[in-house]
Amino acid sequence: MIANSIGAKRVEKVALTDVPPKLRYREDARLYRRLTIGLLAIAVLTPVCLIIYQSFLDGPFFSPRSQLSLSAYSYVLTDPMFWKALRTTALFAVGMVFIAVPLGGMLAFLLTRTDIRFKRMLEILVLVPMFISSIVLAFGYTVSVGPSGFVSIWVRDVFGFVPWNLYTLPGIIVIAGLSHVPHVYLYVSAAMRNLPSDLEEAARTSGASIWQVSRDVTLPMVLPALIFAAALNLLLGFETFGIPLVLGDPNGILVLTTYIYKLTTLFGVPTYQLMAVVAVVLILVTLPLVFFQRRLLRNSRRYAALGGKGARATPLKLGRQGQIIALAIIGIWLIVSVVLPIGGITVRAFVSAWGQGISLWDHLTLANFDRMLDVPSLSRGIVNTLLLSVIGGAAAVFLYLLIGLAGHRNTGASNTLLDYIVLLPRALPGLVIGLAFFWVFLFVPFLTPLRPTLIALFIAYMVVGLSYGLRLLQATLMQVSPELEESARTTGATVMRGWRDVVIPIVRPGLAGAWALIMIIFLREYATGVYLMGAGTEVMGSLMVTLLQTGAMDTIAALAFLSIIMTAAGLTLALRLGAKIHD
């Protein structure tokens, strides 16, 4: 009501002496939408088209000797390593779904449908793995429960053996599945919050246990959300790079993303045409998943259980025993998914040596952080990461707002086109997007001077975060009452004037929260900069990927610890600014 009253006052300022016809308003909006969608299509489709073009060449696209050929497809499709990587990727993605979806659904039920204690704190803690870079999490697991990890050494001393091995495909699947539980929780909990509790209460009064209620009543009502979350995690499984790189590479376990990364130096020189073929295969696999997700979202209203203001949401009572069991389940997951990786990195960052028979107290040091100040590339990486996340995040929010306005209250065909363009980068791993933009900055002459600058990284980051960022802004824009915009139009305002004087002032508080969340997304990004990064444009995440090949664990630990601190600060800021991280 306050926002609408403020907007009403703004409408009075919008009035013009000459009231233009409705047609002028529509033409004004149509021109802006066509221009915005056209520019966005160029930014998104250019790297994708370049990938496809490069896959049909027998050499680098910038080489005058390169010719159209199917030799790259012939090599990749007859390479046993490619098919092995494809099978491993499929097993990895499916296994991740089987772990993440049941756990995420269970956490969503416990935190949204029951009277579990410490709910507000737990709702934030369960999302922590989603905001931390996967390469940081993977490194954290290595130093905590890896073969020489702190926990592994303690277990070996107590029991004489370690019952797990991270460097196997099942170990990698378990770690990836646990780290992707928050993605399932996010979508399923949103669906559960909108459910009425009448059916659950009726089941409870008829004698059903809390677990029977969740299985027989709640689960069928949120099945579309679970299917959507499963499709999302399947997609993320095909795109994951950091966890397979850190945990799979020591044993030669390849997925498609690490296979692309290995092709960089397979023949001593970059084999761009082979990398492009694998990228095309990834697009062909993931694009149908993206469109399936959009179809689920479009049809989600068909599965609403009840609507209107009459639905009540009374939490189910767990009782004393139920509280203990529920808190134990969430506590175990938090220990494995949050405490172990973050604790491992924290300890490793402050010791100079670790392993069997080594006393950590005797090796406490700050030298790992001193080294970052002594090495110019490391200090630049920290500064560049902050610049990209803070300033680049703000610029990205501004651009996402412009794109969001193009789809705001737009029910025409252009909005459908905008949806597909926005979803296209979601079908590409960050590693592939970074590689594609690296080629764009080489291929397009007037963009070549931007390649060795942070602008190149910013453009790639913005495209990677396009789907998530636009979702944040669209949710904020939809909070503006359509009557206010209609009032501005009837008083003679152009669409631009209505957006400037009515819509944007009302959503300005939400933009601050969106900026903080986008800042976190840019902070955790690592794969996109692997190929774009150069001297002077280092970023922390991509530096960790590079340092991993040299075995500089001390430096990686210090960088990972700083990354966690920055992410925690960003998440705290987002919450203080009122960002709705559960929406």
Same domain for 141 and 195, yes or no, is yes
538: in domain: yes
The pLDDT of residue 383: 92
Helices (H) and strands (E) in the chain, counts: 31, 0
Same domain for 453 and 573, yes or no, is yes
Same domain for 406 and 457, yes or no, is yes
8: in domain: no
**What is the residue-averaged pLDDT of the chain?**
82
The pLDDT of residue 313: 61
The pLDDT of residue 91: 95
Per-residue pLDDT tens over the stretch 454-469: 999 999 999 988 888 8
Res 174 pLDDT > 90? yes
Res 318 pLDDT > 70? yes
Cβ atoms 131, 338 nearer than 8 A:
no
Stronger pLDDT, 502 or 110, i.e. the higher one: 110
13: in domain: no
How many separate domains does the chain show? Answer: 2
The pLDDT of residue 341: 93
* Least reliable range by pLDDT among 195-199, 374-378, 383-387, 388-392: 195-199
User: What is the rounded distance in angstroms from the CA atom of residue 23 to the CA atom of residue 455?
Assistant: 39
Stronger pLDDT, 318 or 95, i.e. the higher one: 95
Tell which of 365, 399, 421 closes a domain: 365
Nearest alpha-carbon partner for 539 in 461, 440, 438, 450 = 461
Same domain for 187 and 297, yes or no, is yes
Res 169 pLDDT > 90? yes
Percent of the chain with pLDDT over 90: 19
Res 3 pLDDT > 50? no
Stronger pLDDT, 574 or 201, i.e. the higher one: 574
Helix, coil or strand: residue 351: strand
Same domain for 307 and 445, yes or no, is no
The pLDDT of residue 297: 64
* Full domain range(s) for residue 340: 84-365
The pLDDT of residue 582: 62
Report phi then psi at 482, rounded to 5.
Answer: -65, -25
Token pair 């500064």: residue: 383
Per-residue pLDDT tens over the stretch 254-301: 999 999 888 876 666 678 888 899 999 988 888 888 777 777 666 554
Render the burial of 225-246: b for 16+ CB within 10 Å, e for the rest. bbbbbbbbbbbbbbbbbbbbbb
* Least reliable range by pLDDT among 17-21, 149-153, 264-268, 481-485: 17-21
Tell which of 339, 365, 391 closes a domain: 365
Same domain for 485 and 419, yes or no, is yes
96: in domain: yes
The pLDDT of residue 98: 94
Calculate mean pLDDT across residues 413-419: 78
User: What is the rounded distance in angstroms from the CA atom of residue 460 to the CA atom of residue 43?
Assistant: 9
Token readout for 46 is: 């250019």
Label residue 94 by pLDDT band (50, 70, 90). Answer: very high
Same domain for 330 and 395, yes or no, is no
Same domain for 402 and 361, yes or no, is no
Cβ atoms 385, 540 nearer than 8 A:
yes
The pLDDT of residue 175: 93
Nearest alpha-carbon partner for 287 in 234, 229, 230 = 234
- Count CB atoms within 10 A of the CB of residue 524: 24
DSSP per-residue codes, 468-505: HHHHHHHHHHTTS-HHHHHHHHHTT--HHHHIIIIIHH
Same domain for 243 and 380, yes or no, is no
Label residue 171 by pLDDT band (50, 70, 90). Answer: very high
373: in domain: yes
The pLDDT of residue 305: 46
The domain spanning residue 131 has which CATH number? 1.10.3720.10
Calculate mean pLDDT across residues 31-43: 87
Res 20 pLDDT > 70? no
Same domain for 341 and 446, yes or no, is no
Calculate mean pLDDT across residues 324-349: 91
461: in domain: yes
The pLDDT of residue 268: 64
The pLDDT of residue 310: 43
Contacts 24+ apart (CB under 8 A), 416-419: 417/37, 417/41, 418/33, 418/37, 418/40, 419/294
The pLDDT of residue 550: 80
Label residue 488 by pLDDT band (50, 70, 90). Answer: low
Q: Which residues contact 276 (CB under 8 A, 6 or more apart)?
A: 51, 52, 54, 55, 72
75: in domain: no
DSSP per-residue codes, 311-348: ---PPBP-HHHHHHHHHHHHHHHHIIIIIHHHHHHHHH
Cβ atoms 540, 381 nearer than 8 A:
yes
Tell which of 365, 388, 420 closes a domain: 365
The pLDDT of residue 118: 87
* Least reliable range by pLDDT among 364-368, 456-460, 520-524: 364-368
Helix, coil or strand: residue 78: coil
Calculate mean pLDDT across residues 298-319: 56
Cβ atoms 470, 400 nearer than 8 A:
yes
Nearest alpha-carbon partner for 233 in 418, 331, 102 = 102
* Least reliable range by pLDDT among 127-136, 243-252, 314-323: 314-323
Same domain for 235 and 320, yes or no, is yes
2: in domain: no
CA of 259: how far to CAs of 80, 176, 263, 274, 276, in Å?
12, 18, 6, 10, 12
Same domain for 400 and 452, yes or no, is yes
